[in-house]
Amino acid sequence: MDLAIGAKDVYVMMALFTRAGEPKLVPQCTYPLTGVGCVSRVYTDCGVFDVGPNGVRIRETYGVSAHELAERLGITL
Mean pLDDT, residues 5-13 taken together = 85
The contacts of residue 10 (CB under 8 Å, 6+ apart) are 4, 35, 38, 39, 40, 41
Mean pLDDT, all residues of the chain:
87
Distance CA(16)–CA(72), nearest Å, equals 10
* Residue scoring higher pLDDT (58 or 28): 58
- Report pLDDT for 49: 94
Domain residue limits, the chain: 2-73
Could you read off the pLDDT of 17-39 as tens digits, one per residue?
A: 999 999 998 888 888 887 778 88
